Each structure stands twice: as structure tokens, then as C-alpha cells.
Structure 1
Amino acid sequence: MTVLDRCFINTFVAPEGKEDEVVAAWKGDAEYMKKAGGLLSVQLYHGIGGSRLFTNVAVWQSTAHLRAAFVTPEFRSHLGGYPDSTVAYPHLYQKYAVEGVCEGQ
């Protein structure tokens, strides 16, 4: 990643039996974000062993690109597609250096 890259990580807890609905709502969000500009990559992860956890990892060119995509009425309209009681934990990250293990920005 370059210095400009920002990683948006959002972990979802799907309501029991509503995993397919969460994935469908996430897909709509991801398709919108891909068109918004500045999204470098996106990947959805699903916990194994009957887990209801999903984690979205999206790499953005900049914080400004991410912010611009999030504040549109079109994106806000997507949020209603998630089942009631879906819990999300969104955070914006940047690379963090740990000497001898991994590089920072």
C-alpha cells in the first residue's frame, strides 16, 4: 500500500438466520462503492464453523474518497437493506509499524 491508502474494516454480526440478507445488502453497498471512485480493493470474509460474523476489508485511495462515498444520499439509502438487529463495527485504519515484524506507512 502507498501512504495514501486507507483500510476501512467493518465487522458485521448477522442476526441468526439472516446471513444471506446481510450478504445481499453488503453486495449492494460494495457495488455502489466500486462506482464511487477511490476504492482500490474490497473483500468480504465470513467466519467459519457456523459463525454469524462477516468482515468487510476495503482499501481506499484516501480518507477523502471514503468520506465522499459515505455521505451521499444514495449510499445512505443502502443502509435500510440490512436486517433489523444487524450490528456493525466500522473503523478506518492505516498501516502501523511494529519493529522487526511489519512496516508502517
Structure 2
Amino acid sequence: MTASVPDEGPITFINVFDIAEEEIDTFVAKWEERAPLLTSAEGFICAELHRAYDDDTRFRVVNVTKWQSHAHFAAATRAPEFQAGLAGYQQTAPWTPYRGFYRTAAKFD
């Protein structure tokens, strides 16, 4: 993340994954296993993991997480426990993540 991003919250972290259908169940299980590392962190608001039901969908899994600020997200993901688990997770991962940070541009209820 670049230093030029203002740290006003809340922010939404969206991570989409290019993943084969046969890998999704394993991915979801690993995500659920690691979720407490972030959901218990200061500044965490909520998270949802979405799974595509249409075979033509490019990104089969989408993670949407809300944080009080980018600083909260950064602190949680720099925690030694999170980093330790992430190292092995990324080395064996048969998927490619594409991530970004967003702010609400429009809202409809």
C-alpha cells in the first residue's frame, strides 16, 4: 500500500481469486481456519467470502472485508501470527489473488 493513501475509515478490502473449481472447498476451509486471526483484530468490522455459482464467472471466490481504517488492516496483517500462517499458505496456493482497497462511492439500501 502506498503512503499517499489517506487513512480515513472505514475502508473495504476486496480480494478476488482466480481459482479452479476443484480447489474452492480447500480454499474456503483454509479461509475459515485463518479468519479468527483477523476477526479478533482491533478495527475489524466484518468479512464475507463469496463463491460464484455460475461456471462462467472469472473470479470464483471474492473476499470482502471492512475495516475501521487502513492502519487497522495493516496492523492485523503484519501481526506475527498472521504472517507465519501466510508464508506457508502462499507457497502452496493453487490460486492467484487480485486485491485492492476501496471506499464507498455510492450506496443503495
Map of 1:12 onto structure 2? 17
- CA root-mean-square deviation: 2.0
- 1:85 aligned partner, one-letter code: P
Q: Do structure 1's residue 32 and structure 2's residue 37 form an aligned pair?
A: yes
Superimposed CA distance per residue, residues 41-95 of structure 1 (whole angstroms, 9 cap, x where no aligned partner): 1111111123561101111011110000111221122322364321101111112
TM-score calculated relative to the size of structure 1? 0.78
Q: Percent identity?
A: 30
Structure 1 residue ranges without an equivalent (≥5): 97-101
Map of 1:61 onto structure 2? 68
Structure 2 residue ranges without an equivalent (≥5): 1-7
TM-score calculated relative to the size of structure 2? 0.75
Map of 2:49 onto structure 1? 44
- Give the number of equivalent residue pairs: 96
Superposition misfits of 4+ residues, deviation over 6 angstroms: none
